[in-house]
Structures are given as C-alpha cells and as structure tokens.
Structure 1
C-alpha cells in the first residue's frame, strides 16, 4: 500500500521518472552530466574524528563530559577521545581527499580547541595552528574548506550558563564566530553556522537523549530553537557588516530533515508536517515574511493556553529579531538521509507538552524500503528529489548545498549497499537540477568511519575504513570510495564499478 501511494505523490510533483519504491533505485531524467559549477566533496565533524580530546590545551566539551560520565549511554561504551586521530594524523585524511578528487571538504572546528573554556579571551594558539594547517594544506591541494562553526560540541564553560537555553548564547556564539572569521576568513569562503538544529535542540534540550540532557519537552527545545536562530542571525549580520566586503565569503546554515509522504495523499497534511519539520528553522530565515510559520504560532499558542499557561511555548520572534533572521543565509545546507510516511495521530503522541504532541502525526517507513545498520535509516532516494523540489517551490529556489548524505553498515570493505545508496541519491540530486532546482554541491557522509554519537563505533558511514586497533589509524578505501572517485572524475552517475 505504502509504495503505491508513493507513486501517486511523486506523480503529483510533476516528476517524469519511474520510481521503483523499495529497491533503492531511481531512474535518470534529463541531462546525465552534472553542471560544470557543481562541486562534490565529503563531510566530517571535529568530535567524531579528531581525537586528542585534551591535547595541547584543548578544553572540555559537553560531549567529552557526557561520554566520560555516562559510558552506559553509548552503545559500545566508547567515546571520541581518540577516534580516527585526525588531530594527530590529518595528513592521512588529506591523502584520502586527494585520492577521491573532491573539490571541497566540509569539517567543523572544535570550539574548545581554540577557546578552551568557550570564551574568546581563553585563546589557545596550538588549536589555531592546527586549523590553519588543515586549511592551508587543503588549499595547497586544490580542495576548498567548507567550515562548520558549531557541530554539537559546546564548551562546558558555556553550558554552565545554560547553553542554548540562555539568551547569552547569542553574544557568546557571535563572539566565537567573529574570531573564526578573523582567524580563517581570508581563506575560508563557505561558513556553516550550525549543523542540524533539530538534533541540538530536540535531543539535548527537549529530551535527555544527548548532552546537555535538559529534558524539557515542548519548552526547552523551543527556547533552544529561538536562541539558536537569533545566534545564527547575529553571526550572519556580523559577517556582512565586518567581513563580507573584503573576504567575499558565504555564510549559511545546515538543516536536517526526513522527507514526508502522506499515506492518504493529503496535501494539507504534507504542508503542515513540512512546516513543523523543515519550516520551524527554514521559514524564519528563508521565507518572504520571516518569523515562525503562522500555523505553528497559532496552534502552539492555543495548546499553551489550553494547558493553563500565560504565554505561548513558542512565541513570535518579534519585529526586531524577525528582521535580523529573515534573509540571514546565503544558502540552505541540507542533511538528507531518509523519509517517512505520515498520517494524523489517532491518539496524542508524546508527553504533554512536547514537540511530538504539537506535531501530532504518526510516522513510519515502508516495510519494503531497504534498511541500513542504523534502525532509522532507509533508502528512499525519491525523498531527496521531492525535498529539493519542495525547497525550490516553497523558498524561492534558494541556493542549496547537500551537506550530508550517507549510509551505515558494519564496516565491510565490499560495501555494495552504500554504493547503491549513493548512486540513487546522487541521481536524485541530478534529476532535481534538471528540473530547475538550485543545487550546487554535494557532500558525502562521511570521509572515514567515525564515532557515531550514542551508537559509538557500532555503525560505520565512512568511505574509508579506519584501523582502530592500530596507533597509526590506517585509512583503507572501501569499494564505495572507488565508486565515488569514478563519479567525481566523470561528473556522472556510474551504474557500478
């Protein structure tokens, strides 16, 4: 049933492709070669690969503290203390990047490696030297650095003041971003302020799944979203005011989303779900009016009053911040992995209050979709094409960068399922480009097998395997690395090796 409905939904979007739902395939439509200005790269994040958690003056992040104090929360009781040792062995990563032939490398800067307690007066020169070395080596080899300012590893020194639950984070983050612009902006031309605000706020503030484990559903997450948007807007405006004219770079944000399909092909359900999902962060930045989506403001205010509150759990951003935030991104970064079918919940979902209850949909995958090692990750490439077309139509065809897309397994070198995932999803991107979507780059997740947060090292996303038993941490190319290298060289989507 689910798969048949999926054909209908895609058909309503005007796609001419024939989709084989459940087989992780999508048929090419239009041009078979990517545009000349389209760039391929790979992505990583600091905590997941760098190791050296306390080396050379680095301070303590909330993920350092969390994994050390709560090893039972990590599936294999590991942590990122050493990981792939990229802090010590970046040249191995550089060799892999060169072998792949990527145009750009998306990585994040560890806040505490440069400012150990989180505040800019605590500058650590050895950390600065490390990132200068990374950036310079990339550029010397024709690889553009794409830098994420914040990828989840908040300094403990900042969290002591409440982190994203305290409006002080706006100036704290802006100070941090300004120093990065000063230090590296002469060479870094693509900045991403935040990676996956949904995960930062919902998992860390709306629940206790990840640090800082605030666990205030329906309240803490919305406070976090609000402060994060303001911090992003402030950091963007600061760049425009002080650095853009001379440095000529771009500043954007990366949003994460599961694409949604309607069980009953109900466009109203899809639109509402997308506003609660993507729109919560995208609408304030990329819409013509700004602020949170009107349907969210209206529904959550009503729910708040029904709960006996004096004010909404999600108040309007107000005139000043709406102006600051609206238009505060030169591009929309998108992390896409998978999709879900939705239908209105027959009974209230989640705690009262909670974002789940506000959302009020049940979601589930098609049982025929191929599943990765991660229990949430299914291969549904048409979801990516659908998402890009939705952004095209809803947000005035803003420039889009695919900043993450990938597949997990047990780490096997003959990773044919990963190849099939990449093949179908990169084809989905090309289909969307052929249909007028303004997409100009793709970053595969991930360069190397790394620490996958609460899953530890039990799930592998890398194009390269890492010999974790060796102090040399040798990088071993998987079959998918060879495939991706061929794709980059030909600028087309090969059927296989």
Structure 2
C-alpha cells in the first residue's frame, strides 16, 4: 500500500500563475452531498417500506464491516434542522440529497404516498430554501423498495414504468421548489457492482445477464422519468434533469495499450452515456461488437447486451439538461496475458475486454484504513480533467456538473489529506474550465458528514463534518476541511499561494 503524503501546493502547480487565475467563473456553485440510506436512519419509522439495503444488512450482516447497518445512521430524519444549519455555516449554494423511494412510496408503487415521508422531504426542502440554499434532489441512490426487488428489481423491464410513476409523484410534490434533479445515481454501481460481484444489495451474482439487463433498464427508467418531466412539468417549473454517472478514468498502461484504454473508457462511460448524449444513440458500437462476440463464444444465440429498438433509442436519446459526473479515482489498463487470472469488474479488471487494471506506483492511496474497501481510492487528480475532456470530445460542449468528489480517511478533525485531495481536484477543474473550455457549473463535495459507507460500515470517513456514531445525539463537528471548503466558497477561488 502506498500511503498519501501531503505535498507542498506550489510544487504541484508547475506554472506560475497569479492568484486571480484560480478564481472560479461568476455564478459557479458549490455544494455537498448525501444519500437517504446513508444518513436518514429511521428505517422503520411510520409507514416507510423496506429497501433492499434494509433487507441486505439485516439478513446478511456478514457482508458489512462489523455487521453495521443504516438503521440509525446519522439520524438525519430527526436531525434535519441541524444538517441545514451546518450546510448554511459552510455557505453552500446547494445541498444534494436523495429521496428514499420506499419512504415516499411504502409499497414501491404510486398507489400510496406516505404523508410522513412527504412531510419530511418538504421540511428539508423548505428549510434549505429559507436559508437561501438550493435543493438538488436525486430520485434514486441505491435503496430500491424490496417489494420491487421481489419482482426482479432492475432486471425486470417494467421497472422503467415503475420508476417513471415514482418520479411523477416526486415532481408533483416537490417540483415547485426543486429545480435540479438527478434520476439515478451511479448506475455502474447499481448494475455492475451488484450483479458482477454481489458485494452490495441486492447481493445477486449473475455476471452474464444481470449487469447488462440492469444497464438497459436504468437507461430506460431515466429516460421515462425525464420525459415525464419534459411533458408534464417543465413548462411550469423550468427545472433541469440528468443522470449521475460515476466514471473511472482509464489510461494506457504503456504506449502500446492506447486502444484498450479507449475501450475501457467506452465500457464505463460509454455504456451509461452513449445512449443519452450521442447523436446516434444506442450502445457504443465498439462495446456492442465485443459483447456480441463474447456472447457467441459463451454459446448464446443472441448478445448478452440487450438490443435497443429504434423506438427505445429515440426515447433515451437527448434526455439530459446537463452531464452529472461523480469522480473519485483512475486506473491504468492493458490487455491480459494468456492464462492471466482476472478479478471481477468494477473492483478490479474488466473480463469483457480481457483487460487487466492497475495503478501507477506514483499514485498515492487515500488515507483510508488498509483493510477498508475504500483503499481503491488511488489519487490521480488529472483524471477528473481528462475524463471531462473525453466527454466533451465525444458528446459535444455539454454543461457539466461534478455531483460527487471526495476522499476517505480514518477520522479525526485534522484531515489534511482530504484538504489536499480537494485542492488538487479543484485545481484540475479550473484548468479544464480555463484551458479546455469545459462548461462546468457545479462542484459537489462527498460528503457533508460521515455516514454509513455501504460494505465498509462506519469505518471510512468522507465527511466535512465528523459524526460521533457512539453518541445517541450523533454530534456533528466541523473538520479542518469544512473550514477549507467554506473559505473557497466565500472567495469563489482557490488559495494556492
């Protein structure tokens, strides 16, 4: 393990720029993010339905560090006013949070809307707006109603309609005040992690069919939710909608690996972007060809990557108002050697491409515990800029928003590693804006406060605010990174001197 040692900022710059060159464009917005299952707690309060993460953590606690779960988490369901006060103290322009689908619709379907669930989100939205803070709302951040999972979840094509019905309810209840929407957070994790590794909910291992079925259906669900807004709500509310993709930037291991590096980017970014953002729509042609060939080798009569009908291509194409990107880390990639064993994607290699994935020795690891699942956060700030440039080159001069970026550590208020991580990534984003012409409008820190970090339980800390999970009051305390971030927001600039 290569541990991260903070570097002197001036040594990182490489060029001598004046301080004003590190100023963000006028109107640039800074925020922080959370997600419902990770912070709300109150898992069985009122008429809330069960989510797949409720079921997963309760029935398979061995899958989570220390058998932890999100039953209480940060208790934001009860402490939302304290969260808002902390958000205001940071000076955030917006707060990204997610709605719990089973909290709002206890059956998973639109036949019943929870009054208590709706009241909670109304209180949160109204409280933010009273402080001059914009709500940015994600409809889905991994906590699918268990009732829908029992019917096949994201592998059932009907889920696209179920999701559209849920979106319509959310728009109806909150659309008058919410102007920035995200449909589905990180479909790569929802699909590839879930079905290729089974390490996250719903914990079903089906590496041939699961991820690709899910891939198609999340794109259709996003598109239908977008069309609902476009046809029924946009004229009145004038909001904006996107899907939030977590992208890992892949570079060639050596100069001979450029082609497979491009395929790796297409495999990640393209499979969850091409259908929405490209002019022709559908799957990335190179990936579609590879999966078709792989499927034949496995003895299947048709491709495991389910084809889009022309009607579906037209439905999905153009369903965006901006490109929302979550970025944490990068990798290098090369073709596997004969007989080389591959580790299942996305934690490791990419078997569909017969590609081995690694990191460069000079890339430091985050300050997470060596035993943590978060040790895959190798730090390569240049990757965030290069990924944005790739997206612009492939899909045009879109409006971009960074909807998650951050680094874990083991806790404590003096989180210099996290400060350095944000400093370096924000510098790269300014270079992307000023030198590459990237139209970037938002930056979102992950996360507002320590929370339940999925399979890593409460060990990995990402928060600008430390949370004492041993305290029934879940006391929140600002870290040094909170003060650092608040200063950037106040000055609309990086201090790199």
Q: Deviations over 1:89-147 (max 9, x none)?
A: 01111111011001010000001111112111121100100000000011111110000
Q: Deviations over 1:405-429 (max 9, x none)?
A: 0010011100001000000001111
Does the CA contact (< 8 Å) of 1:201 and 1:222 recur in 2? Answer: yes
Aligned to 1:304: 295
Aligned to 2:236: 246
Aligned to 1:9: none
Aligned to 1:295: 286
Distance across 2 between alignment mates of 1:426 and 1:345? 34
Distance across 2 between alignment mates of 1:351 and 1:174? 35
Aligned to 1:485: 486
Aligned to 1:461: 462
Gaps of 5+ in 1: 1-19
Distance across 2 between alignment mates of 1:243 and 1:270? 41
Distance 1:21-1:485 versus aligned 2 partners, 3 A rule? closer
Q: Deviations over 1:199-233 (max 9, x none)?
A: 00012223311111221103110000011111111
Deviation of residue 263 (structure 1)? 1.7
Aligned to 1:98: 88
Q: Deviations over 1:21-46 (max 9, x none)?
A: 99994557793210112100000000
Gaps of 5+ in 2: 1-6, 369-373
Distance 1:228-1:23 versus aligned 2 partners, 3 A rule? farther
Distance across 2 between alignment mates of 1:302 and 1:170? 28
Aligned to 1:367: 361
Choose the corresponding residue for 1:119, options 109, 112, 123: 109
Q: Which secondary structure state, in structure 1, belongs to the residue aligned with residue 136 of structure 2?
A: strand
Q: Which secondary structure state, in structure 1, belongs to the residue aligned with residue 431 of structure 2?
A: helix
Q: How does 1:88-237 map to 2 (within 5 A)?
A: 88-237=78-227
Aligned to 1:77: 67
Does the CA contact (< 8 Å) of 2:186 and 2:246 recur in 1? Answer: yes
Aligned to 2:378: 378
Does the CA contact (< 8 Å) of 2:242 and 2:324 recur in 1? Answer: yes
Distance across 2 between alignment mates of 1:54 and 1:303? 44
Q: Which secondary structure state, in structure 2, belongs to the residue aligned with residue 281 of structure 1?
A: coil
Deviation of residue 310 (structure 1)? 0.9
Q: Which secondary structure state, in structure 1, belongs to the residue aligned with residue 72 of structure 2?
A: coil
Q: Which secondary structure state, in structure 1, belongs to the residue aligned with residue 138 of structure 2?
A: strand
Distance across 2 between alignment mates of 1:366 and 1:309? 37
Give TM-score, length-normalised by structure 2: 0.93
The question of 1:279 aligning with 2:270 is answered yes
Choose the corresponding residue for 1:315, options 306, 309, 332: 306
Deviation of residue 368 (structure 1)? 2.4
Aligned to 1:6: none
The question of 1:345 aligning with 2:339 is answered no
Distance across 2 between alignment mates of 1:122 and 1:291? 35
Give TM-score, length-normalised by structure 1: 0.93
Does the CA contact (< 8 Å) of 1:339 and 1:380 recur in 2? Answer: yes
Distance across 2 between alignment mates of 1:310 and 1:296? 18
Does the CA contact (< 8 Å) of 2:38 and 2:70 recur in 1? Answer: yes
Distance 1:274-1:23 versus aligned 2 partners, 3 A rule? farther
Deviation of residue 292 (structure 1)? 0.4
Q: Which secondary structure state, in structure 2, belongs to the residue aligned with residue 390 of structure 1?
A: helix
Aligned to 2:412: 412
Aligned to 2:3: none
Does the CA contact (< 8 Å) of 1:300 and 1:312 recur in 2? Answer: yes
Distance across 2 between alignment mates of 1:24 and 1:392? 29
Distance 1:471-1:426 versus aligned 2 partners, 3 A rule? same
Deviation of residue 316 (structure 1)? 2.4
Query: Following TM superposition, where does structure 1 have runs of at least 4 consecutive aligned residues deviating by more than 4 angstroms?
Result: 20-30, 348-355
Q: Which secondary structure state, in structure 1, belongs to the residue aligned with residue 189 of structure 2?
A: helix
Distance across 2 between alignment mates of 1:247 and 1:325? 22
Distance across 2 between alignment mates of 1:461 and 1:240? 35
Distance 1:24-1:276 versus aligned 2 partners, 3 A rule? farther
Distance across 2 between alignment mates of 1:100 and 1:163? 38
Distance across 2 between alignment mates of 1:431 and 1:314? 37
Distance across 2 between alignment mates of 1:490 and 1:303? 53
Distance across 2 between alignment mates of 1:283 and 1:205? 21
Q: Which shows bigger deviation, 279-288 or 309-318? A: 309-318
Q: Which secondary structure state, in structure 2, belongs to the residue aligned with residue 147 of structure 1?
A: strand
Distance across 2 between alignment mates of 1:409 and 1:310? 47
Q: How does 1:14-29 map to 2 (within 5 A)?
A: 25=12, 27=14
Q: Which shows bigger deviation, 185-194 or 262-271? A: 262-271
Distance across 2 between alignment mates of 1:366 and 1:23? 23
Distance across 1 between alignment mates of 2:78 and 2:143? 19
